[in-house]
Amino acid sequence: MFTASTPALQSLRNSDSGGHSERIRWRATRHRRAIVAVLVLLFVVQTVLTWTTSTAVPTERGGLSQQARRGRQWYQEFNCTACHQFYGLGGYMGPDLTNVTRAKGKGPEYTKAFILHGTARMPNLGVDKSQADDLVAYLDAMAASGTYPIRAANLTPYGTYKEMIPDGE
């Protein structure tokens, strides 16, 4: 694992000796440490702000009731994310579920039927009725938080789209 005499190590030792150049290198190291420290400090600030201000939607939209929290746990226990997405995040075997409980022609009962019985493509996962109710509550909380996908977006010259920034921000 450790060989003391490789050319790389010899070269490294040679390059690491010498008084003046050594001082310059240490000075550069101090500058580098300072840059990394500043970046990490900014990251800490960003982390705090992410946790405290990341919800652009009001808390009542996207907030989770006790039932919805149980639904989130079932969503993970049945590994629904392997096939489904929220806001396009997740597996691509099945459709995105962000607005499924509020979509035209669908709704909570439609969603519950799929969860309980599966389809030709979706296996019956053995979800019971109480779990299905919890899952629908979770999906409905997600549906209340926003809309996905964004159709007919208004593009800007800066490579963004107006719908990225919610009204009032």
Partner 1 sequence: MESRDPTAHLFLLFAVAALWIGAFFGVIGAWQHVVPGVIDVVPFVKSRPLHVSLVIAWIFMAAVGGIYHYLPETVGVPLHSPALVRAHLAIFLVTGLLVVGAYFTGRFGGREYWEFPPVLAIPIVIGWLLFTWNFFRTALRRRTPWPAYLWMWATGIVFFLFAYLESNLWLLQQPDDNVVRDLTVQWKSYGALTGSWNMLVYGTAMVVMERITGDTAPARSKSAFLLYSLGLTNLLFGWAHHIYPVPSASWLRILAYVVSMTEWIVLARIIHQWRRSVEASLFHTRSFSYRFLFASEVWVVLNLTLALLISIPAVNLFTHGTHITVAHAMGSTIGINTTILFASIAYIIGDPVALGADARARSLGFWLLNGSLVVFWACLIGAGLVKGWLTVMTDLPFETIMNRARPFIAGFATSGIGILLGLTLLGMQVSRHLLLRVLGAGGREREEWT
Among positions 42-71, residues that touch partner 1 (CB under 8 A) are 42-43, 46-47, 49-51, 53-57, 59, 62-64, 69
Q: Footprint of partner 1 on residues 139-168 (CB under 8 A)?
A: 141-142, 145-146, 148-151, 153, 155-156, 159-161, 164-166
Q: How far is the CB of 135 from partner 1 (least distance, A)?
A: 14
Question: CA–CA separation, 136 vs 67, rounded Å?
Answer: 9
In one letter, which amino acid is 70?
R
Site string for partner 1, 111-140 (x = CB under 8 A): ---------xx-x-x---------------
Closest distance between partner 1 and the C-beta of residue 54, in Å?
Answer: 4
Alpha carbon distance 32, 133 (integer Å): 55
What is the Cα 71 distance to its own chain's centre? 19
Which helix H or strand E contains 33, and what residues bound it? helix 19-53
State residue 58 phi and psi, 5-degree precision. -60, 155
The answer to whether residue 23 forms part of the interface with partner 1 (CB under 8 A) is no
